[in-house]
Amino acid sequence: MVVAFLFAAGVMGVQFFGLGLTAAKVSHAAQEAAYVAGGSLEAATGPQTPCWSISGGLAHPQGYADAAVCHAVLENLGDANPDLVSVSVSPTLLNRGKHAPIHVTVSYRQPISSPLLRLFMGETFTASGDGWSQ
């Protein structure tokens, strides 16, 4: 019984460490996306829908506004499931000034597979990160 508990605690520890790494990736992805959004030359030519506000648009941003932001988020999250990622960018593309700071928030809801860790943390772990362009 002690060996089973030690094994469960080890699995819990590995997944807890993985959740910490995911939180660091999410924070980095938000900062990189803000940097990309601040330097994007995409012009506000019309009422374009941003890729991050469309279901499936984060994974396939072609034809939507802020495609560079969506690419930056996914590149920095690595193997994250795009369906579990939510992104918000403010101000919107139409309301951005030339030197206005841009705020990007990235959230990732990761399911917890370890039963012992799920007992303490619930079914999912939500990592959230904010980034600002200068």
Give the model's pLDDT for residue 47.
53
> Which residue range is the domain that position 94 belongs to?
2-132
In this prediction, residue 44 carries a pLDDT of 47
For the beta sheet containing 85-90, the strands, ordered from the edge strand earlier in sequence to the opposite edge, are 85-90, 103-111, 124-132
For 109, phi and psi rounded to 5 degrees?
Answer: -100, 105
Q: What is the pLDDT of residue 100?
A: 76
Q: What is the pTM of this model?
A: 0.83
DSSP assignment letter at 48? P
The number of distinct structural domains making up the chain is 1
Q: Are 131 and 31 in contact (CB under 8 A)?
A: yes
| Bridge partner residues of 86 (DSSP) | 107
pLDDT tens column, 82-116: 899 999 888 876 667 667 788 999 999 989 888 87
pLDDT at 128 over 80: yes
Whether 74 has a pLDDT exceeding 70, the answer reads: yes
Q: Which two tokens stand for residue 98?
A: 């030339």
Write the single-letter amino acid at 20.
G
Q: How many CB atoms lie within 10 A of CB 102?
A: 24
Tell me, what's the pLDDT at 85? 93
